[in-house]
Amino acid sequence: MKDILDPVTEKYIHALLPVRDKVLKEMEEYAREHDVPIVGPACARVLYQMARAIGARRIFEMGSAIGYSTLWLARAAGPAGTVFYTDSDPRNLERAKSYLKRARLDRRVRFLLGDALEQLRASRGSFDIIFNDVNKLQYPEAFRLALPRLRRGGLLITDNVLWSGRVARPRAKGDQQTHAIQEFNRLIYGSQKLFTTIVPLRDGLAVSLKV
């Protein structure tokens, strides 16, 4: 992943982060060793902060992998909250269950196996936060599906919106992933129902408030 921030600045930000607990550190190490994409601690703190700021209790994750962001969001949602975990790989789901159980947060999580967009379609009710981290080709459809499921004042938060800086350069021929993210970014900034800010942490985190 190409650095979005100046590497020295990014190193400084990460040096400021408080030490994570044993489970989170183990998840970070596993992700690093097995090349599993996670949001990382700096972006995870944004998720936690946003969830606490709006008092989020119903949170839907579109793409959860080993449950790293799930853990942060479950802590933010509190004992009365529910986080909907989604992943199409049963091995990821079982690993996530194990981590969340060890963190004593598994009762706050509803584990769903399968495509995240299909799981959202099958779910009921509105959500305080929808966190979008699905396959990048699905980003425009994720926008169209997620927006009506958010309550007013809710947040659509999306990872990888700067895509190692590729979104800011002419798209290479056949690069459908970059094209999909560029379209998604136009949609979230162009929507009259959203107020969006891209935070240039890690690979770019978009925070969209439903107004």
Give the pLDDT score at 172: 77
Give the pLDDT score at 2: 57
For the chain, domain boundaries = 7-210
Compute the distance between CA of residue 75 and CA of residue 81 in angstroms, rounded to an integer: 9
Phi, psi (degrees; rounded to nearest 5) at 79: -65, -20
Q: What architecture (CATH level 2) is domain 7-210?
A: 3-Layer(aba) Sandwich (3.40)
- Helix, strand, coil abundance in the chain, percent, nearest 5: 50, 20, 30
CA 47 to chain centre: 8
Phi, psi (degrees; rounded to nearest 5) at 170: -55, 135
Tokens of 45: 């703190």
Phi, psi (degrees; rounded to nearest 5) at 114: 135, 180
Give the pLDDT score at 3: 61
Give the pLDDT score at 4: 79
Give the pLDDT score at 120: 98
Which strands make up the sheet holding 194-199, listed edge to edge? 109-113, 82-87, 58-62, 127-132, 150-159, 205-210, 194-199
Give the pLDDT score at 30: 98
Give the pLDDT score at 171: 73
Regions in the chain scoring below 50 on pLDDT: none
Report the DSSP pairing between strands 205-210 and 194-199: antiparallel
pLDDT per residue as tens digits for the range 68-85: 999 999 999 999 999 999
